[in-house]
């Protein structure tokens, strides 16, 4: 992260993101800061601040350099940053101003809360059909009774209102898809070449080399970081983005759901939910796990006994039942206090925040047990015993000798738990105790698609889209977590 914070390319990226926000919003708006929005941008601020503080500390940057030197980890980081970009665009919320009323100067705002991502995806968001349609279809999935001009009634597949509506002849669909695919590929390649040229120019300026020399170093793989892998992964991400957007305007790339909403739009909107569950939950459980785990192992005695009793009791209660009970209590509170929320989106976000809080409170026991065992070992080491003998205060020993030596366990566990929490959201939403049903999430998509799997023919695309995006995120997180574990675990160093 420090490498990104100290790079001109990152500053340029931030500028482009700001431009996208300004361009996406072209009407007067009322900004809305949801609970999870505030936490997300607070987390981003902490990460950037940490990167700025450690930018000139080689001993802190060295493990991250080892992570980025691995090709798979670098490719996974590009994919994760792509997801993060979508999540950030979906975390800037606002309410658009309604058309002014005659004779009134007061500005009224829409009851619906949108995000910058919604604004950017407007062509896909507003294209709603009557019901199911298959990927790239131009007709509805089910037959309907229609009346012809001669008065006869027939059962047929009605034409979609938006999908393929620009085609005069349905036989042109394959040719049109191929042509759009080639155009999108050309545009993505051109954009990638321009971005790559900018990155190479920045690196050439940094190393005081000519542009040609820097290109030769990059092609031969003589760079410290695997830039070829990074740029090729970026090309794959940009190719998907251009193809999905250009085809998504003309067709429903992943089909539509029961109410006719575009599944590609639902899948992209679900990214923020998965990221919020994966990141905020880990931050909520972190203080419980670190403070209680280190305290139990270091102080021992009655403190150790009390903390062990607490997490043993929590572990003895089935996790799903405990989460279900807390979620039901929270639902009853929200339903009984509707005046606390101006819009439906605020109510759904409050449920998401409390779900993160509940998951965090119930999932800290594993890390706490690990840290307790590590603290028990560290307190018996010679340098800690010497510090005791010289009368060093307890808080100094904890801050100088104990916490720094358990940091690798904390970091590794957090990165590994991220993918598990993303999957947990899908499972909880599937059983009905996850996020609000009105909120887009992969779990809600899977829950909505499970009853349609028994149809003949089967409606499979909602489930498949959610699975593909969730699989890519979890796979990238696991690959990056493996590299982080190897880089930060002292036992893995040779």
Segment 259-265 long-range contacts (CB within 8 Å, at least 24 positions apart): 259/128, 259/131, 260/128, 260/129, 260/130, 260/131, 260/132, 260/133, 261/128, 262/124, 262/125, 262/127, 262/128, 263/445, 263/461, 263/462, 263/465, 264/124, 264/465, 265/121, 265/124, 265/125
Q: What is the pLDDT of residue 233?
A: 93
Mean pLDDT to the nearest integer, 72-99: 89
8 A C-beta contact, residue 145 and residue 120:
no
Q: What is the pLDDT of residue 492?
A: 56
Lowest-confidence range among 373-377, 433-437, 471-475?
433-437
The residue behind tokens 């971005």 is 195
Mean pLDDT to the nearest integer, 337-360: 82
Q: What is the pLDDT of residue 414?
A: 78
Q: What is the pLDDT of residue 13?
A: 44
Domains of the chain, by residue range, sit at 263-492
CA gap 209, 213 in Å, rounded: 6
Residue 95 has phi, psi (to 5 degrees) of -120, 125
Lowest-confidence range among 1-15, 152-166, 357-371?
1-15
Q: What is the pLDDT of residue 103?
A: 64
Instruction: Provide the token pair at 192.
Output: 């990638």
Q: What is the pLDDT of residue 15?
A: 52
User: Does the pLDDT of residue 82 top 50, yes or no?
Assistant: yes
User: Does the pLDDT of residue 178 top 70, yes or no?
Assistant: yes
Q: What is the pLDDT of residue 27?
A: 58
User: pLDDT tens digits, residue range 3-62?
Assistant: 433 444 444 445 555 555 555 545 577 888 888 888 888 888 888 887 787 777 777 788
| Cβ contacts of 295 within 8 Å, gap of 6 or more | 303, 307
User: Does the pLDDT of residue 1 top 50, yes or no?
Assistant: no
Share of the chain above pLDDT 90, in %: 14
CA gap 169, 152 in Å, rounded: 24
Share of the chain above pLDDT 70, in %: 92
Beta bridge partners of 302: none
Instruction: Provide the token pair at 457.
Output: 């023919």
User: Does the pLDDT of residue 239 top 70, yes or no?
Assistant: yes
CA gap 267, 246 in Å, rounded: 17
User: Does the pLDDT of residue 173 top 50, yes or no?
Assistant: yes
Report in angstroms the alpha-carbon separations of 179 from 173, 245, 247.
10, 14, 10
Tell me the pTM. 0.85
Band the pLDDT of 100: cuts 50, 70, 90.
confident
Among candidate residues 448, 439, 437, 433, the one with its CA nearest the CA of residue 320: 433
Q: Is 144 helix (H, G, I), strand (E, B) or coil?
A: strand
**Domain 263-492 superfamily per CATH:** MetI-like (1.10.3720.10)
Beta bridge partners of 147: 153
8 A C-beta contact, residue 355 and residue 327:
yes
CA gap 393, 382 in Å, rounded: 16
CA gap 9, 207 in Å, rounded: 15
Mean pLDDT to the nearest integer, 389-411: 80
Q: What is the pLDDT of residue 268?
A: 93
DSSP secondary structure letter of residue 95? E
Q: What is the pLDDT of residue 259?
A: 84
Q: Which residue has the higher pLDDT, 424 or 242?
A: 242
Q: What is the pLDDT of residue 20?
A: 53
Lowest-confidence range among 129-138, 202-211, 295-304, 424-433?
424-433
Handedness of CA 216, 218, 220, 222 (dihedral sign): positive
Residue 40: count other Cβ atoms within 10 Å of its Cβ: 22
Average pLDDT of every residue of the chain: 82
Residue 450: count other Cβ atoms within 10 Å of its Cβ: 12
Mean pLDDT to the nearest integer, 232-251: 92
User: pLDDT tens digits, residue range 251-309?
Assistant: 999 989 888 889 999 999 999 988 888 888 888 888 888 888 888 888 888 888 888 88
Q: Angle between the 403-430 and 263-299 helix axes, to the nearest 10 degrees?
A: 140
Core vs surface per residue 194-224: b (16+ CB within 10 A) or e? ebbeebbeebbeeeeeeeeebbebbeeeebe
Report in angstroms the alpha-carbon separations of 164 from 123, 130, 135, 210, 243.
14, 15, 11, 49, 16
């Amino acid at each position: 992260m420090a490498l990104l914070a100290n790079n001109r390319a990152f500053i340029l990226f931030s500028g482009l993101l700001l431009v996208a926000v300004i361009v996406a919003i072209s009407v007067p708006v009322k900004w809305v800061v949801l609970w999870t929005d505030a936490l997300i941008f607070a987390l981003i601020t902490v990460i950037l601040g940490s990167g700025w503080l450690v930018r000139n500390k080689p001993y802190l940057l060295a493990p991250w350099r080892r992570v980025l030197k691995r090709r798979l980890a670098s490719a996974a980081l590009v994919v994760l940053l792509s997801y993060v970009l979508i999540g950030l665009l979906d975390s800037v919320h606002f309410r658009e101003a309604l058309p002014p009323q005659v004779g009134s100067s007061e500005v009224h705002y829409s009851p619906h809360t949108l995000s910058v991502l919604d604004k950017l995806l407007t062509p896909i968001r507003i294209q709603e059909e009557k019901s199911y349609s298959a990927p790239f279809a131009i007709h509805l999935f089910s037959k309907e009774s229609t009346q012809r001009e001669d008065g006869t009634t027939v059962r047929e597949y009605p034409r979609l209102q938006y999908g393929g509506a620009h085609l005069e002849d349905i036989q042109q669909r394959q040719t049109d898809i191929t042509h759009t695919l080639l155009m999108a590929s050309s545009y993505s390649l051109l954009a990638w070449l321009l971005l790559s040229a900018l990155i190479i120019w920045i690196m050439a300026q940094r190393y005081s080399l000519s542009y040609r020399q820097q290109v030769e170093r990059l092609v031969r793989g003589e760079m410290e970081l695997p830039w070829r892998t990074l740029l090729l992964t970026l090309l794959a991400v940009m190719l998907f983005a251009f193809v999905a957007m250009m085809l998504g305007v003309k067709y429903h790339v992943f089909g539509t759901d029961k109410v006719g909403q575009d599944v590609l739009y639902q899948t992209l909107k679900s990214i923020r939910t998965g990221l919020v569950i994966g990141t905020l939950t880990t931050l909520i459980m972190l203080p419980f796990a670190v403070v209680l785990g280190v305290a139990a192992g270091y102080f021992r005695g009655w403190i150790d006994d009390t903390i062990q009793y607490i997490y043993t009791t929590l572990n003895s209660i089935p996790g799903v039942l405990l989460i279900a009970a807390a979620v039901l209590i929270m639902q009853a509170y929200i339903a009984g206090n509707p005046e606390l929320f101006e819009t439906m989106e605020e109510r759904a976000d409050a449920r998401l925040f409390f779900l993160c809080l509940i998951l965090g409170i119930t999932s800290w026991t594993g890390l706490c047990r690990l840290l307790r065992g590590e603290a028990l070992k560290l307190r018996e080491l010679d340098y800690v015993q010497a510090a005791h003998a010289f009368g060093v205060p307890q808080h100094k020993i904890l801050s100088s000798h104990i916490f720094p030596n358990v940091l690798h366990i904390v970091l590794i566990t957090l990165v590994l738990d991220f993918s598990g929490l993303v999957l947990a959201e899908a499972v909880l939403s599937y059983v009905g105790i996850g996020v609000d049903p009105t909120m887009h999430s992969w779990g809600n998509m899977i829950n909505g698609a499970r009853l349609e799997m028994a149809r003949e023919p089967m409606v499979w695309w909602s489930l498949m889209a959610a699975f593909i995006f969730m699989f890519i995120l979890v796979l990238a997180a696991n690959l990056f977590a493996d590299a982080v574990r190897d880089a930060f675990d002292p036992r893995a160093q040779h």
